[in-house]
Amino acid sequence: MVYHKPALLNASVEGLAIKPDGRYVDVTFGGGGHSREILKSLSDEGRLFAFDQDADAAQNAIDDERFVLIPQNFAFLKNFLRYHKAIPVDGVLADLGVSFHQFDVAERGFSFRFAALLDMRMNQKSEMTAAKVLNTYELEALTSLFRDYGELKNAYKLAEAIVKHREERPLKTIDDLKLAVVEFTPKQMEHKFYAQLFQAIRVEVNDELGALKKLLEQALEVLEVGGRLAVITYHSIEDRLVKNFFRTGNFEGKVEKDFYGKLIRPLEPINRKPIVPNEEEIKANNRARSAKLRIAEKAA
């Protein structure tokens, strides 16, 4: 089984404009695809630090003196780079979302294709699970996360159905969840509906947006002037945060200008529009179809 097939591999690594003797960070190590590609461009003096909070990723660790795998959430980027005396760095790469391995191992609970427990934890040591979210969150909180993180139009009714279901018995499995929302599952668009529903729950379980915000802010702090930040997103909520941060230096997209009317921002976007996979890549890797790559450079 392939652990993960990275999307936009060449474009993202090329976007870092790698210096052979530079220091780089792959904050989403996974199967190591991006890391191995970065190492190809580094000299003996170059260094690569990789992060991954999923213990399963350790099986893919690279035996190379230039490489260090840090088994932590990238939300702690600055602290661990400081620990390794690796600040400043010349580039940071993030390939967000879920790995093939996480999707394809049934017991991890990330995919609606399997009959498994409601888990969805990227860090398996975490106490927060999909079951805990669905069984303990109030109606209003469930409505918000379905609407905001899953972009589901019938968020309130879905939340109401889950609350009603758990009053009779708790939701423990993926089948329990499907049964609870069966009345609102569109017959012709089941796959899209479940994808949005599971995305909403997964984002909450792993605090993905909170972690992304911390990553972007800390990446800016640890980057050398002229250093590059390359981020691959898979849904509009993530992409909007990245786009706003790259363009304005804040997550709301609030534009600030100096006395002369010049835009004030700490990063300079390299590509005005996101880079997306071509038809050939999508044909070879269908899961890359929603990938969007944005690259920015730290301004002086």
> How many C-beta atoms surround the C-beta of residue 40 within 10 A?
8
pLDDT tens per residue, range 5-16: 899 999 999 999
Q: Is 288 inside a domain boundary?
A: yes
Task: Check which CATH number belongs to the domain holding 151 and give it.
Answer: 1.10.150.170
Tens-place pLDDT, residues 2-52: 677 899 999 999 999 999 999 999 999 999 999 999 999 999 999 999 999
Q: Are residues 249 and 272 in the same domain?
A: yes
Range of 68's domain?
Answer: 9-100+208-298
Domain end (from 205, 221, 256): 205
- Tell me whether residue 111 is in a domain: no
Same domain, 18 and 33: yes
Inter-residue contact 119 to 98 (CB < 8 Å): no
Q: What is the pLDDT of residue 23?
A: 98
Stretch 88-92: mean pLDDT, rounded? Answer: 98
CA distance 255 to 265: 9
Residues 6+ apart with CB under 8 A from 111: 103, 104, 198
Question: Does residue 260 lie in a domain region?
Answer: yes
Q: Is residue 114 part of a domain?
A: no
* Domain-embedded: residue 121: no
99 pLDDT tier (thresholds 50, 70, 90): confident
pLDDT band (50, 70, 90) for residue 90: very high
**Domain of 38: which CATH number?**
3.40.50.150
| pLDDT digit string, tens, across residues 152-172 | 999 999 999 999 999 999 999
The reply to whether 218 and 281 lie within a common domain is yes
Question: Residue 3: its pLDDT value, please?
Answer: 75
In a domain, 120, yes or no: no
Verify that 200 and 219 share a domain, yes or no.
no
Last residue of one domain, picked from the residues 183, 205, 227: 205
**pLDDT attached to residue 1:** 58
Q: In this model, does residue 130 exceed pLDDT 70?
A: yes
Taking phi over 0 as left and psi of -120 to 50 as alpha, with beta for the rest, 291 belongs to beta
> Is there a single domain that holds both residue 136 and residue 17?
no
Q: Is residue 43 in a domain?
A: yes
Tell me: do 93 and 216 sit in the same domain. Answer: yes
Kindly report the number of other CB atoms within 10 A of residue 82's CB atom.
11
Confidence of residue 55 (pLDDT cuts 50, 70, 90): very high
Same domain, 86 and 223: yes
pLDDT digits (tens, 9 = 90+) for 189-234: 999 999 999 999 999 999 999 999 999 999 999 999 999 999 999 9
**pLDDT at residue 82, rounded to an integer:** 98
- pLDDT of 103 > 90? The answer is no
In the chain, how many domains are there?
A: 2
Q: Which of the listed residues 152, 176, 205 is the one where a domain comes to its end?
A: 205
Say if residues 293 and 275 touch (Cβ distance below 8 Å): yes
Q: What is the mean pLDDT of residues 237-246?
A: 97
* 215 occurs within a structural domain: yes
Q: What does pLDDT average to over the chain?
A: 96
